[in-house]
Structure 1
Amino acid sequence: MSSAIGNPYDDLLADVYDLMYPDALSGTAEAVEFVAGLCPPTGSVLEFGVGNGRLAVPLSARGLEVFGIDSSSRMLGDLAERDPDGKVKAVEGDFLTASTGRRHEVVLMALNTFFSLPQQEQQIDCLRRMREHLAPGGRVVLEAFDPSPYHRQEGERTTTRFLGPGTVMLESSHVVPSQQLIILVFALLADGPTRTAHTALRYAWPAEIDAMARCAGLRLVERHAGWEREPYGPGSQRHVSVYEAADAAR
Protein backbone atom coordinates (compact mmCIF):
# COMPACT_ATOMS: atom_id res chain seq x y z
CA MET A 1 0.00 0.00 0.00
CA SER A 2 1.55 3.26 -1.10
CA SER A 3 0.96 6.94 -0.52
CA ALA A 4 -2.09 8.76 -1.80
CA ILE A 5 -2.38 12.31 -0.50
CA GLY A 6 0.66 13.24 1.53
CA ASN A 7 0.37 10.55 4.20
CA PRO A 8 3.67 10.10 6.16
CA TYR A 9 3.09 6.35 6.56
CA ASP A 10 5.29 5.33 3.62
CA ASP A 11 8.02 7.86 4.42
CA LEU A 12 8.22 6.30 7.87
CA LEU A 13 8.48 2.71 6.63
CA ALA A 14 10.16 3.09 3.24
CA ASP A 15 13.30 1.21 4.25
CA VAL A 16 11.34 -1.85 5.49
CA TYR A 17 8.38 -1.63 3.10
CA ASP A 18 9.08 -4.88 1.24
CA LEU A 19 9.58 -6.72 4.53
CA MET A 20 6.18 -5.48 5.70
CA TYR A 21 4.33 -7.08 2.78
CA PRO A 22 6.02 -10.43 1.99
CA ASP A 23 2.90 -11.90 0.37
CA ALA A 24 2.81 -9.05 -2.14
CA LEU A 25 6.51 -9.43 -2.85
CA SER A 26 6.09 -13.13 -3.57
CA GLY A 27 3.33 -12.36 -6.08
CA THR A 28 5.24 -9.73 -8.02
CA ALA A 29 5.98 -11.90 -11.06
CA GLU A 30 2.32 -12.91 -11.38
CA ALA A 31 1.15 -9.28 -11.08
CA VAL A 32 3.62 -8.14 -13.74
CA GLU A 33 2.49 -10.93 -16.07
CA PHE A 34 -1.17 -10.00 -15.55
CA VAL A 35 -0.66 -6.30 -16.25
CA ALA A 36 1.66 -6.84 -19.20
CA GLY A 37 -0.93 -9.16 -20.73
CA LEU A 38 -3.42 -6.27 -20.90
CA CYS A 39 -0.99 -4.07 -22.88
CA PRO A 40 0.24 -4.09 -26.45
CA PRO A 41 4.00 -4.91 -26.61
CA THR A 42 5.05 -1.25 -26.55
CA GLY A 43 2.08 0.06 -24.60
CA SER A 44 2.01 2.41 -21.64
CA VAL A 45 1.23 1.69 -17.97
CA LEU A 46 0.51 4.24 -15.25
CA GLU A 47 0.67 3.08 -11.62
CA PHE A 48 -1.07 5.16 -8.97
CA GLY A 49 1.02 4.53 -5.85
CA VAL A 50 4.16 3.44 -7.70
CA GLY A 51 6.14 3.41 -4.44
CA ASN A 52 9.59 1.86 -4.74
CA GLY A 53 8.89 0.37 -8.17
CA ARG A 54 8.14 -3.21 -7.12
CA LEU A 55 5.87 -3.60 -10.16
CA ALA A 56 6.92 -0.63 -12.29
CA VAL A 57 10.56 -1.61 -12.75
CA PRO A 58 9.93 -5.18 -14.02
CA LEU A 59 7.10 -3.84 -16.22
CA SER A 60 9.54 -1.39 -17.81
CA ALA A 61 11.95 -4.29 -18.36
CA ARG A 62 9.23 -5.85 -20.54
CA GLY A 63 9.63 -2.94 -22.97
CA LEU A 64 6.53 -1.11 -21.76
CA GLU A 65 6.54 2.63 -21.16
CA VAL A 66 5.87 2.97 -17.44
CA PHE A 67 4.78 6.02 -15.46
CA GLY A 68 4.09 6.33 -11.75
CA ILE A 69 2.53 8.75 -9.28
CA ASP A 70 3.29 8.76 -5.55
CA SER A 71 3.29 11.32 -2.76
CA SER A 72 6.16 9.76 -0.79
CA SER A 73 9.53 11.30 -1.65
CA ARG A 74 11.35 8.54 0.24
CA MET A 75 9.61 5.80 -1.70
CA LEU A 76 10.38 7.58 -4.97
CA GLY A 77 14.00 7.83 -3.83
CA ASP A 78 14.04 4.05 -3.42
CA LEU A 79 12.49 3.75 -6.89
CA ALA A 80 15.32 5.84 -8.34
CA GLU A 81 17.88 3.52 -6.74
CA ARG A 82 16.08 0.47 -8.14
CA ASP A 83 15.78 2.14 -11.55
CA PRO A 84 19.14 3.91 -12.09
CA ASP A 85 18.48 4.42 -15.81
CA GLY A 86 15.26 6.29 -15.07
CA LYS A 87 13.08 4.11 -17.29
CA VAL A 88 10.09 4.63 -14.99
CA LYS A 89 8.84 8.20 -15.33
CA ALA A 90 7.80 9.14 -11.80
CA VAL A 91 5.66 12.10 -10.73
CA GLU A 92 5.65 13.18 -7.08
CA GLY A 93 2.16 14.23 -6.07
CA ASP A 94 -1.21 13.00 -4.88
CA PHE A 95 -3.62 10.90 -6.91
CA LEU A 96 -6.34 13.52 -7.02
CA THR A 97 -4.32 16.30 -8.70
CA ALA A 98 -1.13 14.90 -10.26
CA SER A 99 -1.06 14.04 -13.95
CA THR A 100 1.28 12.52 -16.51
CA GLY A 101 -0.23 14.69 -19.23
CA ARG A 102 -1.10 11.70 -21.38
CA ARG A 103 -3.21 8.55 -21.59
CA HIS A 104 -2.23 4.94 -20.94
CA GLU A 105 -3.35 1.46 -21.96
CA VAL A 106 -3.36 0.31 -18.32
CA VAL A 107 -3.89 2.42 -15.21
CA LEU A 108 -2.99 0.35 -12.16
CA MET A 109 -3.49 0.57 -8.41
CA ALA A 110 -2.15 -2.42 -6.46
CA LEU A 111 -1.86 -3.69 -2.88
CA ASN A 112 -4.85 -1.96 -1.25
CA THR A 113 -3.54 1.51 -2.16
CA PHE A 114 -7.07 2.54 -3.13
CA PHE A 115 -8.11 2.25 0.52
CA SER A 116 -5.47 4.80 1.57
CA LEU A 117 -7.92 7.46 0.40
CA PRO A 118 -9.89 7.91 3.64
CA GLN A 119 -13.17 9.32 2.24
CA GLN A 120 -15.63 7.86 -0.25
CA GLU A 121 -15.67 11.10 -2.24
CA GLN A 122 -11.89 10.92 -2.60
CA GLN A 123 -12.11 7.33 -3.80
CA ILE A 124 -14.64 8.30 -6.47
CA ASP A 125 -12.44 11.24 -7.51
CA CYS A 126 -9.46 8.88 -7.74
CA LEU A 127 -11.36 6.50 -10.02
CA ARG A 128 -12.37 9.50 -12.11
CA ARG A 129 -8.70 10.52 -12.41
CA MET A 130 -7.81 6.97 -13.45
CA ARG A 131 -10.54 7.14 -16.10
CA GLU A 132 -9.16 10.46 -17.37
CA HIS A 133 -5.71 8.87 -17.84
CA LEU A 134 -7.12 5.88 -19.72
CA ALA A 135 -6.39 5.47 -23.44
CA PRO A 136 -9.21 4.30 -25.76
CA GLY A 137 -9.71 0.58 -25.22
CA GLY A 138 -7.58 0.68 -22.06
CA ARG A 139 -8.11 -0.98 -18.69
CA VAL A 140 -8.10 0.14 -15.07
CA VAL A 141 -6.74 -2.55 -12.71
CA LEU A 142 -7.44 -2.43 -8.98
CA GLU A 143 -6.18 -4.85 -6.30
CA ALA A 144 -7.78 -4.71 -2.84
CA PHE A 145 -8.39 -6.88 0.21
CA ASP A 146 -11.77 -8.27 1.24
CA PRO A 147 -12.91 -6.14 4.19
CA SER A 148 -15.06 -8.72 6.00
CA PRO A 149 -12.58 -9.54 8.81
CA TYR A 150 -11.97 -5.85 9.50
CA HIS A 151 -15.66 -4.92 9.43
CA ARG A 152 -16.26 -7.42 12.23
CA GLN A 153 -13.48 -5.95 14.37
CA GLU A 154 -14.56 -4.63 17.76
CA GLY A 155 -12.31 -2.41 19.84
CA GLU A 156 -8.61 -2.00 19.22
CA ARG A 157 -6.39 -4.58 17.60
CA THR A 158 -2.61 -4.77 17.76
CA THR A 159 -0.49 -6.53 15.16
CA THR A 160 3.24 -7.07 15.62
CA ARG A 161 5.56 -7.71 12.69
CA PHE A 162 9.05 -8.92 13.49
CA LEU A 163 11.41 -7.78 10.77
CA GLY A 164 15.12 -8.24 10.30
CA PRO A 165 15.97 -4.62 11.21
CA GLY A 166 13.58 -4.52 14.16
CA THR A 167 9.88 -4.60 15.03
CA VAL A 168 6.82 -2.76 13.74
CA MET A 169 3.60 -2.60 15.76
CA LEU A 170 0.32 -1.51 14.19
CA GLU A 171 -2.57 -0.59 16.48
CA SER A 172 -5.89 -0.28 14.66
CA SER A 173 -9.32 0.93 15.72
CA HIS A 174 -12.50 0.58 13.68
CA VAL A 175 -14.93 3.38 12.84
CA VAL A 176 -17.99 1.46 11.62
CA PRO A 177 -20.17 4.26 10.13
CA SER A 178 -17.38 5.52 7.85
CA GLN A 179 -15.82 2.07 7.18
CA GLN A 180 -12.48 3.37 8.37
CA LEU A 181 -9.53 1.79 10.10
CA ILE A 182 -7.43 4.27 12.09
CA ILE A 183 -3.91 2.85 12.34
CA LEU A 184 -1.14 4.00 14.65
CA VAL A 185 2.32 2.73 13.70
CA PHE A 186 5.28 2.23 16.04
CA ALA A 187 8.51 1.25 14.34
CA LEU A 188 11.33 0.13 16.62
CA LEU A 189 14.21 -0.29 14.22
CA ALA A 190 17.93 -0.66 14.69
CA ASP A 191 18.85 2.62 13.01
CA GLY A 192 17.63 5.03 15.65
CA PRO A 193 14.77 6.16 17.91
CA THR A 194 11.22 4.84 17.74
CA ARG A 195 9.29 6.15 14.74
CA THR A 196 5.57 6.82 14.98
CA ALA A 197 2.92 7.75 12.43
CA HIS A 198 -0.78 7.32 11.92
CA THR A 199 -2.92 6.71 8.86
CA ALA A 200 -6.57 6.13 8.05
CA LEU A 201 -7.87 3.56 5.59
CA ARG A 202 -11.38 3.44 4.18
CA TYR A 203 -12.29 -0.06 3.04
CA ALA A 204 -15.07 -0.91 0.60
CA TRP A 205 -16.68 -4.11 -0.63
CA PRO A 206 -16.31 -5.01 -4.31
CA ALA A 207 -19.95 -4.10 -5.04
CA GLU A 208 -19.40 -0.62 -3.60
CA ILE A 209 -16.21 -0.19 -5.60
CA ASP A 210 -18.17 -1.14 -8.73
CA ALA A 211 -20.79 1.50 -7.88
CA MET A 212 -18.10 4.13 -7.33
CA ALA A 213 -16.49 3.11 -10.61
CA ARG A 214 -19.79 3.65 -12.41
CA CYS A 215 -19.97 7.14 -10.90
CA ALA A 216 -16.50 7.73 -12.36
CA GLY A 217 -17.43 6.51 -15.85
CA LEU A 218 -16.06 2.96 -15.56
CA ARG A 219 -17.64 -0.50 -15.71
CA LEU A 220 -16.43 -3.88 -14.47
CA VAL A 221 -14.97 -6.24 -17.08
CA GLU A 222 -13.58 -9.08 -14.95
CA ARG A 223 -12.77 -9.94 -11.34
CA HIS A 224 -10.42 -12.56 -9.91
CA ALA A 225 -9.21 -13.65 -6.48
CA GLY A 226 -5.58 -13.04 -7.44
CA TRP A 227 -3.13 -12.22 -10.18
CA GLU A 228 -3.26 -15.75 -11.59
CA ARG A 229 -6.96 -15.27 -12.38
CA GLU A 230 -8.14 -17.55 -9.59
CA PRO A 231 -11.96 -17.66 -9.38
CA TYR A 232 -13.39 -15.00 -7.10
CA GLY A 233 -16.09 -16.09 -4.66
CA PRO A 234 -17.03 -16.55 -0.99
CA GLY A 235 -13.91 -16.81 1.12
CA SER A 236 -11.67 -14.91 -1.27
CA GLN A 237 -9.32 -12.75 0.77
CA ARG A 238 -8.69 -10.19 -1.98
CA HIS A 239 -9.70 -9.34 -5.50
CA VAL A 240 -8.11 -8.08 -8.69
CA SER A 241 -10.76 -6.14 -10.60
CA VAL A 242 -10.50 -4.86 -14.17
CA TYR A 243 -12.57 -1.95 -15.49
CA GLU A 244 -13.03 -0.23 -18.84
CA ALA A 245 -14.51 3.11 -19.82
CA ALA A 246 -18.28 2.92 -19.56
CA ASP A 247 -18.65 4.36 -23.05
CA ALA A 248 -16.21 1.87 -24.63
CA ALA A 249 -17.59 -0.16 -27.54
CA ARG A 250 -18.21 -3.78 -26.62
Structure 2
Amino acid sequence: MIPHAHFGERLASVYDNMYPYIEIDTQHAVELFTQLCPPPARVLELGVGTGRVALPLAELGYRVHGIDGSPAMLERLRARDPDGRVTTQLADFTTTTSGDQYDLVVVLLNTFFSAVTKDQQLSCLRHVREQLAPSGRFVVEVFEPTPFHSQTQPSFSVRHLGDQGIMIDMLSVDRAQQLMVGAHTILDGGKPETVQHVLRYAFPFELDLLAEACGLQLEHRWGGFAREPFGPTSHRHVSVYSGADDR
Protein backbone atom coordinates (compact mmCIF):
# COMPACT_ATOMS: atom_id res chain seq x y z
CA MET A 1 0.00 0.00 0.00
CA ILE A 2 1.24 3.48 -0.89
CA PRO A 3 1.11 5.59 2.31
CA HIS A 4 -0.82 8.79 2.91
CA ALA A 5 2.21 11.01 2.38
CA HIS A 6 2.35 9.95 -1.29
CA PHE A 7 -1.40 10.22 -1.95
CA GLY A 8 -1.04 13.15 -4.33
CA GLU A 9 1.86 11.59 -6.21
CA ARG A 10 0.03 8.43 -7.22
CA LEU A 11 -3.40 9.97 -7.79
CA ALA A 12 -2.34 13.09 -9.71
CA SER A 13 -3.09 11.45 -13.06
CA VAL A 14 -6.65 10.43 -12.10
CA TYR A 15 -7.52 13.08 -9.51
CA ASP A 16 -9.74 15.24 -11.69
CA ASN A 17 -11.77 12.17 -12.71
CA MET A 18 -12.43 11.11 -9.12
CA TYR A 19 -15.26 13.61 -8.72
CA PRO A 20 -17.99 13.37 -11.40
CA TYR A 21 -19.58 16.72 -10.50
CA ILE A 22 -16.29 18.55 -10.83
CA GLU A 23 -16.91 20.60 -13.99
CA ILE A 24 -20.20 22.22 -12.96
CA ASP A 25 -18.91 22.64 -9.41
CA THR A 26 -15.85 24.47 -10.69
CA GLN A 27 -18.08 26.88 -12.61
CA HIS A 28 -20.14 27.63 -9.50
CA ALA A 29 -16.98 28.07 -7.40
CA VAL A 30 -15.49 30.57 -9.84
CA GLU A 31 -18.78 32.49 -10.01
CA LEU A 32 -18.95 32.70 -6.21
CA PHE A 33 -15.35 33.88 -5.94
CA THR A 34 -15.93 36.65 -8.49
CA GLN A 35 -18.89 37.83 -6.40
CA LEU A 36 -16.92 37.75 -3.14
CA CYS A 37 -13.81 39.38 -4.56
CA PRO A 38 -13.74 40.61 -8.18
CA PRO A 39 -10.56 40.47 -10.30
CA PRO A 40 -7.77 41.51 -10.46
CA ALA A 41 -7.54 40.58 -6.79
CA ARG A 42 -4.77 38.41 -5.36
CA VAL A 43 -5.79 34.81 -4.65
CA LEU A 44 -4.01 32.09 -2.69
CA GLU A 45 -5.15 28.49 -3.10
CA LEU A 46 -3.99 25.98 -0.50
CA GLY A 47 -3.67 22.53 -2.05
CA VAL A 48 -3.84 23.95 -5.56
CA GLY A 49 -3.49 20.49 -7.12
CA THR A 50 -3.74 20.38 -10.90
CA GLY A 51 -5.17 23.89 -11.14
CA ARG A 52 -8.83 22.96 -11.51
CA VAL A 53 -9.96 26.28 -9.98
CA ALA A 54 -6.74 28.30 -10.08
CA LEU A 55 -6.48 28.31 -13.87
CA PRO A 56 -10.03 29.60 -14.57
CA LEU A 57 -9.43 32.33 -11.98
CA ALA A 58 -6.16 33.31 -13.66
CA GLU A 59 -7.96 33.48 -17.01
CA LEU A 60 -10.34 36.03 -15.48
CA GLY A 61 -7.46 38.27 -14.47
CA TYR A 62 -6.85 37.18 -10.87
CA ARG A 63 -3.25 37.02 -9.67
CA VAL A 64 -3.17 33.46 -8.36
CA HIS A 65 -0.57 31.72 -6.22
CA GLY A 66 -0.92 28.05 -5.34
CA ILE A 67 0.72 25.95 -2.63
CA ASP A 68 0.80 22.15 -2.83
CA GLY A 69 2.85 19.40 -1.24
CA SER A 70 2.78 17.11 -4.28
CA PRO A 71 5.38 17.55 -7.06
CA ALA A 72 3.23 15.40 -9.38
CA MET A 73 0.18 17.62 -8.89
CA LEU A 74 2.20 20.76 -9.57
CA GLU A 75 3.79 19.16 -12.63
CA ARG A 76 0.34 18.54 -14.10
CA LEU A 77 -0.66 22.12 -13.30
CA ARG A 78 2.42 23.48 -15.10
CA ALA A 79 1.65 21.29 -18.12
CA ARG A 80 -1.80 22.89 -18.29
CA ASP A 81 -0.38 26.37 -17.70
CA PRO A 82 2.57 26.79 -20.09
CA ASP A 83 2.40 30.59 -19.77
CA GLY A 84 2.85 30.42 -15.99
CA ARG A 85 -0.25 32.43 -15.16
CA VAL A 86 -0.46 30.65 -11.78
CA THR A 87 2.64 30.90 -9.61
CA THR A 88 3.26 27.81 -7.51
CA GLN A 89 5.09 26.79 -4.38
CA LEU A 90 5.98 23.22 -3.36
CA ALA A 91 5.33 23.23 0.38
CA ASP A 92 3.16 22.04 3.26
CA PHE A 93 0.46 24.69 3.61
CA THR A 94 0.04 23.94 7.32
CA THR A 95 3.58 25.13 8.09
CA THR A 96 4.44 27.49 5.24
CA THR A 97 3.41 30.94 4.10
CA SER A 98 4.12 32.65 0.80
CA GLY A 99 5.28 35.86 2.46
CA ASP A 100 2.52 37.88 0.80
CA GLN A 101 -1.05 38.91 1.58
CA TYR A 102 -4.14 38.00 -0.43
CA ASP A 103 -7.65 39.31 -0.93
CA LEU A 104 -8.99 35.76 -1.19
CA VAL A 105 -7.60 32.54 0.31
CA VAL A 106 -9.31 29.27 -0.61
CA VAL A 107 -8.91 25.63 0.38
CA LEU A 108 -11.27 23.33 -1.52
CA LEU A 109 -12.52 19.77 -1.94
CA ASN A 110 -11.87 18.62 1.66
CA THR A 111 -8.19 19.58 1.42
CA PHE A 112 -8.31 21.34 4.80
CA PHE A 113 -9.03 17.97 6.43
CA SER A 114 -5.72 16.61 5.10
CA ALA A 115 -4.21 18.41 8.09
CA VAL A 116 -4.58 15.31 10.25
CA THR A 117 -4.34 16.78 13.76
CA LYS A 118 -6.06 19.67 15.49
CA ASP A 119 -2.69 21.37 15.92
CA GLN A 120 -2.00 21.15 12.18
CA GLN A 121 -5.42 22.62 11.43
CA LEU A 122 -4.80 25.47 13.87
CA SER A 123 -1.40 26.10 12.31
CA CYS A 124 -3.00 26.27 8.87
CA LEU A 125 -5.61 28.76 10.07
CA ARG A 126 -2.99 30.95 11.76
CA HIS A 127 -1.05 31.11 8.50
CA VAL A 128 -4.26 31.95 6.63
CA ARG A 129 -4.95 34.84 8.97
CA GLU A 130 -1.38 36.06 8.57
CA GLN A 131 -1.72 36.07 4.78
CA LEU A 132 -5.24 37.55 4.61
CA ALA A 133 -5.28 41.17 3.47
CA PRO A 134 -7.53 43.70 5.24
CA SER A 135 -11.14 43.01 4.21
CA GLY A 136 -9.99 39.72 2.68
CA ARG A 137 -12.03 36.50 2.65
CA PHE A 138 -11.11 32.89 3.44
CA VAL A 139 -13.23 30.14 1.83
CA VAL A 140 -13.26 26.51 3.00
CA GLU A 141 -15.09 23.68 1.23
CA VAL A 142 -15.38 20.43 3.20
CA PHE A 143 -17.83 17.59 3.73
CA GLU A 144 -20.27 17.56 6.64
CA PRO A 145 -19.00 14.62 8.73
CA THR A 146 -22.11 13.60 10.68
CA PRO A 147 -23.05 10.63 8.43
CA PHE A 148 -19.50 9.27 8.58
CA HIS A 149 -19.04 9.81 12.32
CA SER A 150 -21.70 7.18 13.05
CA GLN A 151 -19.96 4.57 10.89
CA THR A 152 -18.71 1.58 12.88
CA GLN A 153 -17.66 -0.75 10.04
CA PRO A 154 -15.63 -0.17 6.87
CA SER A 155 -17.67 0.86 3.85
CA PHE A 156 -16.96 0.21 0.18
CA SER A 157 -17.78 2.14 -2.98
CA VAL A 158 -16.70 2.27 -6.62
CA ARG A 159 -15.72 5.31 -8.66
CA HIS A 160 -15.62 5.27 -12.46
CA LEU A 161 -12.59 7.11 -13.80
CA GLY A 162 -13.65 7.32 -17.44
CA ASP A 163 -11.05 5.74 -19.73
CA GLN A 164 -8.66 5.51 -16.77
CA GLY A 165 -10.44 2.51 -15.22
CA ILE A 166 -12.17 2.30 -11.86
CA MET A 167 -11.30 2.97 -8.26
CA ILE A 168 -12.50 0.87 -5.32
CA ASP A 169 -12.67 2.85 -2.08
CA MET A 170 -12.62 1.31 1.39
CA LEU A 171 -13.43 3.83 4.10
CA SER A 172 -12.85 3.36 7.84
CA VAL A 173 -13.56 5.85 10.62
CA ASP A 174 -11.79 6.35 13.95
CA ARG A 175 -14.45 8.29 15.83
CA ALA A 176 -12.29 8.99 18.88
CA GLN A 177 -9.64 10.74 16.77
CA GLN A 178 -12.10 12.01 14.14
CA LEU A 179 -10.00 10.34 11.47
CA MET A 180 -11.24 8.99 8.16
CA VAL A 181 -8.89 6.48 6.57
CA GLY A 182 -9.42 5.69 2.91
CA ALA A 183 -7.79 2.90 0.92
CA HIS A 184 -8.17 3.65 -2.80
CA THR A 185 -7.43 0.76 -5.18
CA ILE A 186 -6.96 1.69 -8.83
CA LEU A 187 -7.88 -0.90 -11.46
CA ASP A 188 -6.69 0.30 -14.87
CA GLY A 189 -5.69 -2.92 -16.59
CA GLY A 190 -2.28 -3.02 -14.96
CA LYS A 191 -1.20 -4.23 -11.55
CA PRO A 192 -3.74 -3.08 -8.91
CA GLU A 193 -2.33 -0.42 -6.64
CA THR A 194 -3.73 0.83 -3.34
CA VAL A 195 -3.16 4.33 -2.00
CA GLN A 196 -3.93 5.34 1.58
CA HIS A 197 -5.49 8.71 2.37
CA VAL A 198 -6.12 10.06 5.88
CA LEU A 199 -8.37 13.00 6.77
CA ARG A 200 -9.06 14.57 10.15
CA TYR A 201 -12.63 15.83 9.92
CA ALA A 202 -14.11 18.65 11.97
CA PHE A 203 -17.75 19.48 12.51
CA PRO A 204 -18.91 22.93 11.37
CA PHE A 205 -19.13 24.31 14.92
CA GLU A 206 -15.64 22.96 15.64
CA LEU A 207 -14.24 24.56 12.50
CA ASP A 208 -15.75 27.87 13.59
CA LEU A 209 -14.11 27.59 17.02
CA LEU A 210 -10.73 26.79 15.48
CA ALA A 211 -11.11 29.74 13.13
CA GLU A 212 -12.10 32.10 15.95
CA ALA A 213 -9.02 31.04 17.91
CA CYS A 214 -6.95 32.23 14.95
CA GLY A 215 -8.70 35.56 14.47
CA LEU A 216 -11.20 34.50 11.80
CA GLN A 217 -14.96 34.99 12.02
CA LEU A 218 -17.66 33.12 10.10
CA GLU A 219 -19.44 35.37 7.61
CA HIS A 220 -21.43 32.93 5.42
CA ARG A 221 -22.11 29.21 5.27
CA TRP A 222 -23.83 27.50 2.35
CA GLY A 223 -24.50 23.93 1.31
CA GLY A 224 -22.55 24.40 -1.93
CA PHE A 225 -21.00 26.92 -4.29
CA ALA A 226 -24.39 27.80 -5.79
CA ARG A 227 -25.25 29.23 -2.33
CA GLU A 228 -27.65 26.42 -1.50
CA PRO A 229 -28.94 26.74 2.08
CA PHE A 230 -26.92 24.76 4.62
CA GLY A 231 -29.07 22.51 6.79
CA PRO A 232 -29.48 19.08 8.41
CA THR A 233 -29.45 17.25 5.06
CA SER A 234 -26.42 19.04 3.60
CA HIS A 235 -23.55 16.74 2.65
CA ARG A 236 -20.94 19.50 2.60
CA HIS A 237 -20.53 23.18 3.32
CA VAL A 238 -18.82 26.17 1.80
CA SER A 239 -17.87 28.51 4.63
CA VAL A 240 -16.61 32.08 4.24
CA TYR A 241 -14.53 33.73 6.98
CA SER A 242 -13.17 37.22 7.40
CA GLY A 243 -10.68 38.69 9.82
CA ALA A 244 -12.33 39.21 13.20
CA ASP A 245 -10.86 42.71 13.41
CA ASP A 246 -12.25 43.62 9.95
CA ARG A 247 -15.85 43.59 11.19
Normalized against structure 2, the TM-score is what? 0.94
CA distance, structure 2, for counterparts of residue 209 and residue 181 of structure 1: 16
Instruction: Please name the residue that 1:244 is paired with.
Output: 242
Task: Say if 2:187 is the partner of 1:188.
Answer: yes
Task: Say if 2:102 is the partner of 1:101.
Answer: no
Gaps of 5+ in 2: none
Instruction: Please name the residue that 1:125 is paired with.
Output: 123
CA distance, structure 2, for counterparts of residue 13 and residue 40 of structure 1: 32
Instruction: Please name the residue that 1:89 is paired with.
Output: 87
CA distance, structure 2, for counterparts of residue 31 and residue 169 of structure 1: 28
Percent identity, aligned pairs only?
Answer: 44
Instruction: Please name the residue that 1:175 is paired with.
Output: 174
My pick for the range that moved more, 143-152 or 153-162, is 153-162
Which AA in structure 2 matches 1:73? P
- Deviation digits for residues 5-58 of structure 1, max 9, x if unmatched? x82112111111111011233211110111122224311000001000000000
CA distance, structure 2, for counterparts of residue 9 and residue 89 of structure 1: 22
Which AA in structure 2 matches 1:184? A
Which AA in structure 1 matches 2:166? T
Instruction: Please name the residue that 1:43 is paired with.
Output: 41
- Of 72, 75, 82, 2:73 maps to 75
CA distance, structure 2, for counterparts of residue 77 and residue 171 of structure 1: 28
Normalized against structure 1, the TM-score is what? 0.93
Which AA in structure 2 matches 1:143? E
CA distance, structure 1, for counterparts of residue 136 and residue 101 of structure 2: 9
Which AA in structure 2 matches 1:232? F
My pick for the range that moved more, 227-236 or 104-113, is 227-236
Which AA in structure 1 matches 2:88? A
CA distance, structure 2, for counterparts of residue 43 and residue 65 of structure 1: 6
Gaps of 5+ in 1: 1-5
Instruction: Please name the residue that 2:139 is paired with.
Output: 141
Which AA in structure 2 matches 1:76? L
Aligned pair count? 243
CA contact (8 A) 1:218 1:246 kept: yes
Tell me by how many angstroms 1:156 deviates.
1.1
CA distance, structure 2, for counterparts of residue 199 and residue 16 of structure 1: 15
CA distance, structure 2, for counterparts of residue 96 and residue 148 of structure 1: 25
